[in-house]
Amino acid sequence: MTERLLLDEHYSATIAHALRERGHDVVAVVADPDLRGASDAEIFQWAAEHGRRIVTENIKDFRPLLMQAQASDGMTAALLLVSPRRFPRGRGDRSSAIVTALEAWLGASTPRSVEDWLV
């Protein structure tokens, strides 16, 4: 099954667009008027309802949401966590590096867990 991704608000819609051009199902929070400005809990719920894995570097907020959903047997959105050290803002062509890394992750045949890391 192909992963369907939701890029958190700190990722440009151009990343989602570039990945869609390569045949991947990716949407960006910033490109959806219903999601822009939504709380992390609302984004998590939306992703769970729509079967999307959240790509985020906001680990401190999304990991507790995941743990809470798992503990309550609620709807769960999988996470793809991104280290801001690996992809620092304001340095070089961050978007291109993220597109490359996401495409490699999407194309990998390794088993996926509900919480994974982009490397």
Walking along the chain (119 residues) 10 residues at a time, the average pLDDT comes out as: 90 96 97 95 97 97 96 93 87 85 92 92
What pLDDT shows up at residue 14?
95
For residue 1, what pLDDT is reported? 54
Q: Minimal CA–CA distance to 55: which of 98, 104, 108?
A: 98
pLDDT of residue 92: 63
Q: Would you tell me how many other CB atoms lie within 10 Å of the CB of residue 54?
A: 24
Count of Cβ atoms closer than 10 Å to residue 75 Cβ: 12
End-to-end Cα distance, the chain: 21
Q: How far is CA 90 from the centre of its chain?
A: 20
State in words which class domain 4-118 has: alpha beta
pLDDT at 32: 96
pTM score of the predicted model? 0.94
